[in-house]
Every structure is written in C-alpha cells, then in structure tokens.
Structure 1
C-alpha cells in the first residue's frame, strides 16, 4: 500500500506539472491529458466547464504573450481513488500594454480534486486562490542578453511556442 501511495502521489505531481507546462505553452493536447472532460475550473476571473476553460486558456489572451508557472510544494491527501491537493504556484505574466510590456507576478495556490479513473489521475475540479500580486513595471528586453552580456546562442530566450524546449523534448523522444 505504501508503494502504491508513493506512485499515486508522483502521478498526481506529474499531472499538475504537465498542466502548468500546457498553460505556459498554450498546448491544448497536453492540458487535455490532465483534466477529466467533466471537470470544472474556477480561477475567479474565469469559472466554467473544462471545455470552456480550454477555449479560454488556449490560445490565451493576445495581451499576455508570455507566462511561466512555477510550482511549489503540494500537500496531497489520498482518499482511495480521489485526492485533495493544494499546490503553491508563482505565476509570471508579461502583459502587452500597447506601448510597452509590463511584468506581473502572482502568488497563490491551486486547490485540486483529482480522481483516478482506469488507472489515470486527472483533475476533476480546480480552484485558484490568490494570495498576492506584484506589478514590476516595464519589462526588460532579454532578447539581446542578460545583465549586459549578449547571448551566444539563438535558443537562449524562451517563448510560449516554438522555443528550444520543444526541440529539446523532440530530440529525446526520437
């Protein structure tokens, strides 16, 4: 039983990490692998079914060209084929204000109810709690380097789609 619990907890953590990557990449297929089709989502600024959430988060707002969700610890309580999970999240958002971009960082927690069906753990309900927000003002342009040092490679700057991480995973899968 202890080994099964450990494996279940790891599958749950993997599911939550894949959702974060899917949201950052606006990757509908990756997100679909992590939610049950009958799931409900409540982000405060958006509440609805999984299908409605997917249509909202992919392609995402054109005013938010870049996001990065960093996950912290997860408290996981297993109850047979259900789990209650609280995961700390810090999310960075680059906001296109027209004349300039701004950097916003939000701290909060995902409250997820996951269910195991046919051997797979997926989210059945997600609720976002917002604990803090910081507006860092105008975004720095990292396209030319960091701290005055230019990048030596073209793949150093991340993007929501089409950056080097996609190539990185494709190379390892081949």
Structure 2
C-alpha cells in the first residue's frame, strides 16, 4: 500500500513538473515578445544562456540586447507549436516547435522572414523552481516574402549562400541590419544537431553542459 502511495506521489509530481515546464516555455514567448522584461527574466536561471543566430550569451545580456533592438525598431516575433519534454528528476530537456518571424527592409524592400524550427532547451529545477539553463534553437527551414505584393528585392546571392539552408534568409536580413550571424547553428540534419542531441542526453544523465 505504501509503495502504491509513493508511486502515485511520484507520478503526480512528474505531471506537475511537466505542467510547470510547459507554462515556462509559453511564458518565454509571450513575455519576450510583449517586452515584459522583468517577468521574462524569471524564466532563466542566473547562469542561463541563450544561443541565437544573432546573439550568444547570458539570459541577462539577451534581455539587454533585446531591449536595445526594441528601441531601434527591430521586429522579431515567435509562435509556438507542440512541446515534447524528457524529464529526469530535477533536470529536463524540451523540444518546442516554433516559428521566428522578423520584419525588416531587405535591399530597399520591406519583407517578412519566417523561420520554422524548434527550441531545444536544457532546464533544471533548483529550490523548487524550474528555469532555463540553455536555449538552443534548431533552424529547419525559412522563407522571405515582400510585404507589398509584386515588390521583389534583389538579393546578394553570395551573401545568401554563406549561411545554412535552415536559416539563410533570416541570416540575410539580420546581417543587413547590422548583426553578426553565427554560421554553424544546428539544422534539421547534420553533425551540429546530432551533437546537440548528445549534449541533451548527457544533461539528463547528470553531466554539465
């Protein structure tokens, strides 16, 4: 009877942990895109890090540069899909289907770039609170569309070809507005994403990132 009770308590705690993680992942997008910076800060652990095409650094630094981008009119929005969570005690790895939508001027033409991929997150429960230790997006495919129908930007083919297929149009627009874009982020396939999966598995086994 005691064993059954213990198992039920463990299962209930796991259900609660999964709910808390889902809520955290949803809050990340809503609070970041709405500019609720102090609430957004609570989804990170103090040592949490963000990896993106245009930025790699701490959660606090990410908030700062995001605020600076807002002030300059940089428009980046996120939308979420399905969430998968691998849970191992006080550690978790989650994968969340997402799109990144960025609007900007490309070669004189206002355009939207939409990139489809996944957020791959390393999470940990500390003092009863889940937080992000590392967020690494996986970039699967993207496209560029002019905001005004019929307008056609003349892209620099050499610049476009510098970046992986999964985020080359996103990298193009970010480069054109002055960001330095990381050229080796993980995509749908390849050694970069396989190495990320291996890091995730090691994290769940208790290894450091």
Q: CA deviation at 1:18?
A: 0.7
- Structure 2: stretches of 5+ with no match in the other structure: 1-9, 150-209
Q: CA deviation at 1:139?
A: 5.2
Residue of structure 1 in register with 2:172 after alignment: none
Q: Structure 2 CA distance, aligned partners of 1:6 and 1:72?
A: 20
The list of structure 1 runs, each at least 4 consecutive aligned residues, that deviate by more than 6 angstroms after superposition, is none
Q: Secondary structure at the match of 2:53?
A: coil
Q: Structure 2 CA distance, aligned partners of 1:77 and 1:90?
A: 21
Residue of structure 2 in register with 1:64 after alignment: 74
Q: Structure 1 CA distance, aligned partners of 2:104 and 2:58?
A: 26
- Structure 1: stretches of 5+ with no match in the other structure: 141-174
Q: CA deviation at 1:86?
A: 0.9
Residue of structure 2 in register with 1:36 after alignment: 45
Residue of structure 2 in register with 1:86 after alignment: 95
Residue of structure 1 in register with 2:204 after alignment: none
From the two aligned structures, give the one with the greater strand fraction: 1
Q: Secondary structure at the match of 1:76?
A: strand
Larger Rg: 2
Residue of structure 2 in register with 1:157 after alignment: none
Bigger mean CA deviation after superposition, 37-46 or 107-116? 37-46
Q: CA deviation at 1:97?
A: 5.3
Q: With structure 2 as the length reference, what TM-score do the two structures score?
A: 0.61
Q: Secondary structure at the match of 2:69?
A: coil
Q: Structure 2 CA distance, aligned partners of 1:139 and 1:130?
A: 26
Q: With structure 1 as the length reference, what TM-score do the two structures score?
A: 0.72
From the two aligned structures, give the one with the greater helix fraction: 2
Q: CA deviation at 1:111?
A: 0.8
Alignment counterpart, residue 14 of structure 1, candidates 10, 23, 34 = 23
- What's the C-alpha RMSD, in Å, of the aligned pairs? 2.0
